[in-house]
Structure 1
Amino acid sequence: MKFYIKQNKVLFIVTILVNVIASLGYVFMAILLQQLLDIALGKDMQHFVRMVLFSIFYFAVLGIFLYLQSLLSKKVICKIMRQIRSDVFQGTVNHSIEDFNKKNTADYISIITNDVKMIEDNYLLPLFEVVQYAVIFTASFLLMIYFDIIVTVYVIAAIAIMFLIPGFLGNSLEKRQKRYSSKLADFTVSLKDMLSGFEIIKSYSMKRYVIQRFNKENDETINSKYSVDRLLALNEGVSSFLALMVQIVVLFLSAYFIITGRITVGTLLGMVQVSSNLANPLVMIFTNIPKIKSIQPIVEKLQSISQYSLSHLQKEHISSFDFCVCTKDLGFSYDKQKEVLNEINCTIEKGKKYVVVGKSGCGKSTLIKLLAGYYSDYAGTIKYDNRELGLLDRNDVAQLSSIIHQNIYMFDETIHDNICLHEDYPQEMIDNVVMESGLAEFISEIPEGLLHQVGENGADLSGGQKQRIAVARALIRNKPILILDEGTSAVDMQTAYDIENRLLQIKDLTIITITHHLRTELLEKYDTIICMDYGKIIEKGTFNELVSNNSIFLNNLS
Structure 2
Amino acid sequence: MRTIFRYLKPYVPRMSLGLFIKFIGTIMDLLLPWILSYMIDDVVPQERISLILLWGGVMLLCSAAAVITNIVANRMASWVAQHTTEAIRHDLFTRISYLSCKQIDDFTIPSLESRLTTDTYNLHQMIGMMQRLGVRAPILLLGGILVTLTLEPVLSLVLLAVLPLIGLLVFAVSRKGIPLYGNLQQGIDSMVRTVRENIAGIRVIKALSKTEYEQNRFSHVNEEVVRREKKAGITMALTNPLMNLFLNIGLTMVILVGAWRVNAGLTQPGKILAFLTYFTIILNAMLSITRMFVMYSKGSASASRIHEVLSTPADLAVLEVPGAASDSHIEFQHVCFSYQKKEDTLYDINFRLKRGETLGIIGATGCGKSTLIALLMRLYDRDSGEIRIDGQPVESIPPHELHTKFGVVFQNDVLFADTIAANIDFGRELGQEAIEKAAACAQAKEFIDALPDGFSHRLTAKGTNVSGGQKQRLLIARALAGNPEILILDDSSSALDYKTDSLLRRALRSQYAKTTTIIVAQRISSILHADHILVLEDGKEIGYGTHEELLETCNIYREISISQMGGDLSA
TM-score w.r.t. the length of structure 1 is 0.92
Once residues 143 and 322 of structure 1 are traced to their aligned partners in structure 2, the CA distance between those partners, rounded to angstroms, is 87
The answer on whether the counterparts of 1:340 and 1:535 sit within 8 Å (CA) in structure 2 is yes
1:252 aligns with 2:256: yes
- 1:335 pairs with 306, 330, 340, which one? 340
Indicate the SS of the match to 2:238: helix
Kindly report the root-mean-square deviation, in angstroms, between the aligned alpha carbons of the 2 structures.
2.5
Instruction: Show the counterpart of 1:531.
Output: 535
Aligned partner of residue 101 in structure 1, secondary structure: helix
1:206 maps to what in 2? 210
CA apart distance, 1:460: 0.7
- The reply to whether residue 384 of structure 1 matches residue 389 of structure 2 is yes
**Is 1:277 the counterpart of 2:286 in the alignment?**
no
Distance 2:133 2:273 in 1: 26
Distance 1:195 1:168 in 2: 42
Residue in structure 1 matched with residue 198 of structure 2 by the alignment: 194
How much does 1:277 deviate? 1.6
Contact 1:243 1:283 in 2 (8 A): no
1:358 aligned partner, one-letter code: G
Partner Cα separation in structure 1 for residue 221 and residue 478 of structure 2:
39
Deviations 1:235-262 (A, max 9, x none): 2221121222333333333333322223
CA contact (8 A) 1:243 1:280 kept: no
> Which residue of the other structure, out of 35, 39, 44, is the alignment partner of 1:36?
39
What do the CA deviations read for 1:298-333 (whole angstroms, capped 9, x no partner)?
A: 3222112123342496645999x9852212211122
8 Å CA contact 1:323–1:350 kept in 2: the answer is yes
Distance 2:481 2:87 in 1: 34
Instruction: Please give the TM-score of this superposition, normalised by the length of structure 2.
Output: 0.90
Indicate the residue corresponding to 1:444 in structure 2: 449
Taking structure 1 as reference, are residues 318 and 258 closer, same or farther at Cα in structure 2, changes over 3 Å only? Answer: farther
Provide the residue aligned with 1:435 in structure 2: 440
Alignment of 1:135-534 (within 5 A): 135-289=139-293, 291-293=295-297, 295-311=299-315, 315-316=319-320, 323-505=328-510, 506-519=512-525, 523-524=528-529, 526-534=530-538
Q: Which moved more, 1:327-336 or 1:250-259?
A: 250-259
Counterpart selection for 1:51 from 30, 55, 72:
55
Cα separation, partners in 2 of 1:273 and 1:312, compared to 1, 3 Å: farther
2:16 match = 13
State whether structure 2 residue 10 is matched by structure 1 residue 4. Answer: no
SS of 2:333's partner is: strand
Distance 2:453 2:267 in 1: 84
Show the counterpart of 2:569.
none
**Alpha-carbon deviation of 1:361?**
3.0
Aligned residues of 1:95 and 1:309 also touching (Cα < 8 A): no
Given that residues 126 and 299 in structure 2 are in contact (C-alpha distance below 8 angstroms), is that contact kept between their aligned partners in structure 1? yes
Q: Cα distance 1:518–1:2, how it changes in 2: closer, same or farther (>3 A)?
A: same
Distance in 2, Cα, partners of 1:532 & 1:182 = 39
Alpha-carbon distance between aligned partners in 2 of 1:496 and 1:22, rounded to the nearest angstrom:
74
For the residues of structure 2 that align with 1:496 and 1:312, how far apart are their CA atoms?
A: 36
Q: Is structure 2 residue 68 aligned with structure 1 residue 64?
A: yes
Confirm or deny that 1:97 pairs with 2:92: no
Cα displacement string for residues 406-434 of structure 1 (whole angstroms, at most 9, x for unaligned residues): 32211122212211112311111122112
Contact 2:533 2:547 in 1 (8 A): yes
Corresponding residue to 1:134 among 134, 138, 147 = 138
CA-CA distance at 1:106 after TM superposition = 1.8
* Alpha carbons of structure 1 residues 378 and 276: separation in structure 2 relative to 1, 3 Å: same
Matches of 1:167 and 1:36 in 2, distance apart? 40
Contact 1:326–1:345 (Cα < 8 Å) also in 2: yes
Mapped partners of 2:401, 2:321: distance in 1:
6
Helix, strand or coil for the counterpart of 1:216?
helix
Show CA shifts across 1:497-523 (max 9, x none): 111221122122111111222229x63
- Separation in 1, partners of 2:279, 2:285: 10
How many angstroms apart in 2 are the aligned matches of 1:3 and 1:317? Answer: 36
Q: Determine helix, strand or coil for the equivalent of 1:519.
A: helix
CA contact (8 A) 1:403 1:482 kept: yes
Write the distance in 1 (CA, Å) between the matches of 2:220 and 2:371.
36
Please report how far the alpha carbon of residue 296 of structure 1 lies from its aligned counterpart in structure 2 after TM superposition.
3.4
Shift of 1:546: 4.4
Whether the aligned pair in 1 keeps the contact of 2:81 and 2:127 (CA below 8 Å) is no
Change (3 A) 1:147 1:377: farther
What amino acid does structure 1 have at the position aligned with 2:219? N
CA-CA distance at 1:23 after TM superposition: 1.3
User: Amino acid of the residue matched to residue 75 of structure 2?
Assistant: L
- For residues 360 and 312 of structure 1, what CA distance do their matches in structure 2 show? 27
In 1, the alpha carbon distance for the partners of 2:555 and 2:493 equals: 25
- DSSP-derived class of the 1:163 partner: helix
Q: 1:208 to 1:532 in 2, by over 3 A?
A: closer
**Residues 371 and 531 (structure 1), Cα distance of their counterparts in 2 relative to 1, 3 Å cut:** same
Change over 3 Å in CA distance of 1:436–1:120 after alignment to 2:
same
Shift of 1:187: 1.1
- How big is each residue's C-alpha offset from its partner over 1:57-108, in whole Å with a ceiling of 9 and x where there is no partner? 3322222112112212222221222122222211111111232233432222
Could you tell me how far apart the structure 2 residues matched to 1:250 and 1:31 are? 17
Note the residue ranges of structure 2 that are not aligned, 5 or more in a row. 566-571
Counterpart amino acid of residue 280 in structure 1: N
Cα separation, 1, equivalents of 2:188 and 2:363: 42
Specify the SS of the correspondent of 1:380. strand
Q: CA deviation at 1:35?
A: 2.6
Q: Residues of 2 paired with 1:472 and 1:26: CA distance?
A: 68
Residue 402 of structure 2 aligns to a residue whose secondary structure is helix
Q: 1:475 to 1:34 in 2, by over 3 A?
A: same
Residue 117 of structure 1 is matched in structure 2 by 121
How many angstroms does 1:463 deviate by? 0.7
Deviates more, 1:474-483 or 1:394-403: 394-403
Q: What is the rounded CA distance, in whole Å, between the counterparts of 2:322 and 2:554 in structure 1?
A: 41
The answer (yes or no) to whether the contact 2:100–2:316 under 8 Å persists in 1 is: no
SS at match of 1:262: coil
CA contact (8 A) 1:416 1:451 kept: yes
Structure 2: how far apart are the matches of 1:296 and 1:9? 20
Q: Is the 8 A contact 1:330 1:345 kept in 2?
A: yes
Offset of 1:467 from its aligned partner? 0.8
* Cα separation, 1, equivalents of 2:279 and 2:219: 47
The separation in 2 between residues aligned to 1:197 and 1:422, in whole angstroms, is 29
Distance apart, 1:544 and its partner CA: 4.8
